[in-house]
Amino acid sequence: MNNVCVFCGSNSGLGSAYTQAASRLGALLAEKKVGLVYGGANIGVMGCLADSALANGGSVTGVIPESIAKLNVSHTNLTDLRVVATMHERKALMAELSDGFISLPGGLGTLEEMFEVLTWAQLSIHDKPCGLLNINGYFDKLLDFMDNMVAQQFVVKAHRDMLICESSEARLLEAMNSYKPPVVKKW
């Protein structure tokens, strides 16, 4: 993967575990010469991730809609900052620029972004790996719910299994590098 898109909280979450994980991931991406694509903000888990990638010599592209840029939360020190008209344009550009997607702990925006790229994968709109960094067991209940979606026959197991879950950033990157998309059809 040359570029990875990371979705994560615009808040920092409780305690320091989430921002620390973001800093570790930013440093690892820089070390592996993997470009970071993210939402372009300087706040929360997002800001820590970008700061760490930059501090370690990495390349960071932010993609931010005008409406959010106006709130003065754009990171001013990125390798590249793309300001786009709408949230939909932003997500399309983030996806186009990236060879894979990682979700870190975050809120509604993070979940929406993660499920959108998973949905696109299940429809074979892309075949890029989708990873989840499960820090502090933050996503445990969501993963249980995804298993329930399979048990209740709303999701094919091979599609649920597309989401690569790890609690270590190094293992997550390794697993994403060897990802093979499923050949299963949704219907």
Binding site for ligand AMP (CB under 6 A): 7-11, 39-41, 46, 64, 68, 73, 106-110, 113
* Shortest distance (Å) from residue 177 CB to ligand AMP: 22
Number of CB atoms found within 10 A of residue 108's CB: 8
What's the DSSP call for residue 61?
E
Structure-block tokens of residue 137? 């067991």
Q: Report whether 1 contacts 99 (CB < 8 A).
A: yes
Nearer to ligand AMP, 68 or 149 (CB): 68
Residues 6+ away with beta carbon under 8 Å from 40: 46, 62, 63, 64, 68, 69, 74, 75, 78, 81, 82
User: Which H or E run contains 69?
Assistant: helix 66-69
Nearer to ligand AMP, 112 or 127 (CB): 112
* Shortest distance (Å) from residue 84 CB to ligand AMP: 11
* Shortest distance (Å) from residue 20 CB to ligand AMP: 17
The Cα–Cα gap between 61 and 43 comes to 15
Nearer to ligand AMP, 71 or 184 (CB): 71
Nearer to ligand AMP, 64 or 135 (CB): 64
* Shortest distance (Å) from residue 155 CB to ligand AMP: 22
Nearer to ligand AMP, 28 or 84 (CB): 84
User: Which H or E run contains 133?
Assistant: strand 130-133
* Shortest distance (Å) from residue 178 CB to ligand AMP: 25
Task: Give the residue closest to ligand AMP by C-beta.
Answer: 109
